[in-house]
């Protein structure tokens, strides 16, 4: 049995169309890495991460196999929603550094073939943005109609029953003009009025500003909520209560309105002028909805995120198999995401207490060997776990304060990156803005680099395979052994060769037969590329004994 992980030179791109020999654009083969800038690396030791900190870690990211970083908002902001309340779209928050630091980051990234993606908060601004300050000043202000202002239904009554996803009503009364403004998120995040052409123009200009500075694309925040029903029809009330104790609602009139797609097309036209990529924060309940975000003419988002796996309960090979089949049948380039800064970390979500690292490796092998572009979340590669606040007083995220204890907020998944096992996990000399979990003593970059069996070492090998194996980059997907409810088996097949992936999604040993004939390999030759087995395999097998939650990846030739 041979274990070989090779690194090859990057594939040549055609200068003309920005696509490679297989017709793929750079982002289709890229590995994206989401960085929460407050928590990645703190260069000035004030307890909060910054841009210089990110620049100092580019070599680490390069070595890991990252091709693009998506930085969550680093623009000036009162930080009510930790940057998702932007008060100036065309500057850098001094807490994170200067525009010079940003330009340096882009330039240093370029030297390492790492592109920079920014986070564009399209749905709302901060209430401290100059547009909103003017809008609020009088009913006749130049920017009045840049936001959604309405009279109440009656004294003390908001215009309708819409609720903010962050608790309470979605309307806030402004005593000065006696009207209410609409905010789907915090009251400090008033919704922009995308029906106003001046808003649309200003927002498209923001994207141009950054494209000209070398940004390779945007992750578009909260696209579902860009438009609202102009008649402000009440949403239907559903049975039951949400985690804030309010009635459940069908958000029929303030989410996923068809006009969203017009805005996506316009953003795409501008992105295309600069050869840039648009990634969408697209929460969907099924593949049909996701399909819409690519655009009927492939003229909307190149990368609408498929966040559906984050909602799967437990690990069922059947559930994953069906979902992957549906995504493939839809015919677009997939973007599977298993975790981010708004949801409990994947490590914690899947952990069973006995096989935590094995499960982390298994999930990595799943989403990094499937067709499509990959988006990682910082720390996932070292098996970082959630570190939720222990009491309400410790909470930083306002929704955690409002919804405690049912809703603890999102602090737990946003803690400092664990670089080593020294104080504060090597993130900062100062007390970090959020505490590191005790597991940082074992799950950190420095120690895991030295351990060939660590989660990090597994990620590094896996990403190296993903970048070098043509079948993982361009191969089709053939599902095998479909009757097995515990083991997900598939091949990625390309020009007479294939990569076989076997994932045991259960806590028991599973024996797996090798029948690759449905994929066209009758008497195949097999070279093992990567496993997460604890015991070395010896000899020949009719049936492969897959350890609990293990991974087996092999190269198949005829
Ligand atoms: C989605 C972002 O990911 C989240 O962190 C933020 O709070 C909301 N959008 C509002 O911008």
For the chain, 558 residues long, give each residue's pLDDT as a single digit of tens.
Answer: 333 333 333 333 333 357 887 889 999 999 999 999 999 999 999 999 999 999 999 999 999 999 999 999 999 999 999 999 999 999 999 999 999 999 999 999 999 999 999 999 999 999 999 999 999 999 999 999 999 999 999 999 999 999 999 998 999 999 999 999 999 999 999 999 999 999 999 999 999 999 999 999 999 999 999 999 999 999 999 999 998 899 999 999 999 999 999 999 999 999 999 999 999 999 999 999 999 999 999 999 999 999 999 999 999 999 999 999 999 999 999 999 999 999 999 999 999 999 999 999 999 999 999 999 999 999 999 999 999 999 999 999 999 999 999 999 999 999 999 999 999 999 999 999 999 999 999 999 999 999 999 999 999 999 999 999 999 999 999 999 999 999 999 999 999 999 999 999 999 999 998 889 999 999 999 999 999 999 988 877 789 999 999 999 999 999
Cα distance between residue 263 and residue 194, in whole Å: 8
CB atoms within 10 A of CB 403: 20
Query: By CB neighbour count within 10 A (0-12 exposed, 13-18 middle, 19+ buried), where does 202 fall?
Result: middle
Cα distance between residue 164 and residue 251, in whole Å: 10
What's the gap in Å between 83 CA and the centre of ligand 1? 9
Residues 6+ apart with CB under 8 A from 2: 527, 528
| Predicted pLDDT at 14 | 36
Of the CA atoms within 13 Å of residue 34, those in its CB half-sphere come to 23
Q: Which run of H or E residues covers position 467? A: helix 455-468
Strand partners, 219: 119, 279
Q: Which residues of 36-72 are buried (b: 16+ CB within 10 A; e: fewer)?
A: bbbbbbbbeeebbbbbbbbbbbbeebeebbbbbbbbb
Strand partners, 489: 480, 502
For the chain, count helices (H), then strands (E): 15, 19
Tokens of 313: 């309960």
Residues 6+ apart with CB under 8 A from 149: 135, 139, 177, 179, 180, 181, 182
DSSP string across 58-75: HHHHHHHT--EEEEPP-S
| Predicted pLDDT at 152 | 97
Cα distance between residue 32 and residue 491, in whole Å: 23
Q: Report which protein residue has its CA nearest ligand 1's atom 2.
A: 221
Q: What atom in ligand 1 is closest to the CA of residue 84?
A: 11
| Predicted pLDDT at 540 | 72
Q: Report which protein residue has its CA nearest ligand 1's atom 3.
A: 342
What's this model's pTM, rounded to 2 decimal places?
0.96
Residues lining ligand 1, CB < 6 A? 81, 84, 121, 185, 221-222, 281, 341-342
- Phi, psi angle pair for 272, to nearest 5°: -65, -30
Q: What atom in ligand 1 is closest to the CA of residue 340?
A: 3
| DSSP-assigned letter for residue 84 | S
Write down how long the chain is. 558
| Predicted pLDDT at 17 | 58
What's the gap in Å between 413 CA and the centre of ligand 1? 13
Strand partners, 487: 504
Of the CA atoms within 13 Å of residue 37, those in its CB half-sphere come to 31
Cα distance between residue 200 and residue 223, in whole Å: 14
Q: Which residues are tagged catalytic?
A: 221, 273
Q: Report which protein residue has its CA nearest ligand 1's atom 9.
A: 222
What's the gap in Å between 84 CA and the centre of ligand 1? 6
Cα distance between residue 530 and residue 364, in whole Å: 12
What's the gap in Å between 458 CA and the centre of ligand 1? 31
What's the gap in Å between 174 CA and the centre of ligand 1? 24
Cα distance between residue 182 and residue 189, in whole Å: 9
Q: Any idea which residue has 């990156």 for tokens?
A: 417
Q: Any idea which residue has 């020294």 for tokens?
A: 422
Cα distance between residue 332 and residue 280, in whole Å: 14
Pairing of strands 31-35, 374-377: parallel
| Predicted pLDDT at 509 | 97
Pocket test for ligand 1, best of 37, 74, 84 (most atoms within 8 A of CB): 84
Cα distance between residue 479 and residue 317, in whole Å: 11
Q: Report which protein residue has its CA nearest ligand 1's atom 6.
A: 84
Q: Report which protein residue has its CA nearest ligand 1's atom 4.
A: 342
Tokens of 381: 């590669």
Whether the ω angle into residue 405 lies within 30 degrees of 0, i.e. cis, is yes
Q: What atom in ligand 1 is closest to the CA of residue 123?
A: 11
Residues 6+ apart with CB under 8 A from 128: 78, 85, 87, 188
Asked if 44 contacts 98 with a C-beta cutoff of 8 angstroms, the reply is no
């Amino acid at each position: 049995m041979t274990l070989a992980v090779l690194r090859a030179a990057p594939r040549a791109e055609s200068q003309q169309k920005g696509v490679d020999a297989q017709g793929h654009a750079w982002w289709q083969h890229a590995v994206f890495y989401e960085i929460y800038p407050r928590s990645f690396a703190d260069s000035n030791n004030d307890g909060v991460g910054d841009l210089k900190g990110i620049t100092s870690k580019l070599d680490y990211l390069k070595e890991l196999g990252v091709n693009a970083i998506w930085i969550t908002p680093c623009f000036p902001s009162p930080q009510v929603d930790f940057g998702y309340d932007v008060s100036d779209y065309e500057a850098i928050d001094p807490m994170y550094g200067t525009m010079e630091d940003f330009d340096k980051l882009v330039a240093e990234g370029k030297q390492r073939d790492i592109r920079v993606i920014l986070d564009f908060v399209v749905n709302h601004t901060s209430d401290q943005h100059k547009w909103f300050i003017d809008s609020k000043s009088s009913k006749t202000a130049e920017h009045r109609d840049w936001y959604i202002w309405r009279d109440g239904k009656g004294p003390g009554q908001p215009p309708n029953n819409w609720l903010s996803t962050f608790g309470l009503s979605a309307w806030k009364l402004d005593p000065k003009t006696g009207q209410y403004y609409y905010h789907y998120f915090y009251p400090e995040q008033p919704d922009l009025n995308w029906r106003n052409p001046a808003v649309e123009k200003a927002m498209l200009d923001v994207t141009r500003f950054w494209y000209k500075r070398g940004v390779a694309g945007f992750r578009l925040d909260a696209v579902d909520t860009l438009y609202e029903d102009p008649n402000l029809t009440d949403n239907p009330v559903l049975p039951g209560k949400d985690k804030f104790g309010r009635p459940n609602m069908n958000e029929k009139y303030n989410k996923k309105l068809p006009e969203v797609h017009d805005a996506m097309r316009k953003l795409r036209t501008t992105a295309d002028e600069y050869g840039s990529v648009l990634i969408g924060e697209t929460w969907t309940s099924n593949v049909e909805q996701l399909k819409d975000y690519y655009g009927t003419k492939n003229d909307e988002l190149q990368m609408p995120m498929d966040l559906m796996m984050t909602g799967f309960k437990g690990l069922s090979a059947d559930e994953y198999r069906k979902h992957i089949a549906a995504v493939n049948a839809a015919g677009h380039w997939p973007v599977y995401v298993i975790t981010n800064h708004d949801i409990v970390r994947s490590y914690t979500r899947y952990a069973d207490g006995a096989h935590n690292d094995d499960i982390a490796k298994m999930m990595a092998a799943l989403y990094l060997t499937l067709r499509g572009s990959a988006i990682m979340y910082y720390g996932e590669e070292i098996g970082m776990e959630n570190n939720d606040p222990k009491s309400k007083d410790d909470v930083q995220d306002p929704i955690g304060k409002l919804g405690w204890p049912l809703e603890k907020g999102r602090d737990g998944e946003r803690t400092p990156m664990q670089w080593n096992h020294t104080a504060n996990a090597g993130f900062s000399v100062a007390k970090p803005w959020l505490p590191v979990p005790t597991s940082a003593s074992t799950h950190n970059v420095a120690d895991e680099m030295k351990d060939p069996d660590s989660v990090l070492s597994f990620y590094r090998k896996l990403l190296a395979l993903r970048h070098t194996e043509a079948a993982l980059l361009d191969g089709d997907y053939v599902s095998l052994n479909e009757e097995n409810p515990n083991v997900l088996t598939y091949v990625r097949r390309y020009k007479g060769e294939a990569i076989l992936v076997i994932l045991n999604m259960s806590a028991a040993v599973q024996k797996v037969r090798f029948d690759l004939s449905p994929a066209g390999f009758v008497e195949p030759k097999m070279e093992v590329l990567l496993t997460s087995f604890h015991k070395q395999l010896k000899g020949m097998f009719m049936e492969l004994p897959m350890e609990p939650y293990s991974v087996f990846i092999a190269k198949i030739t005829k």
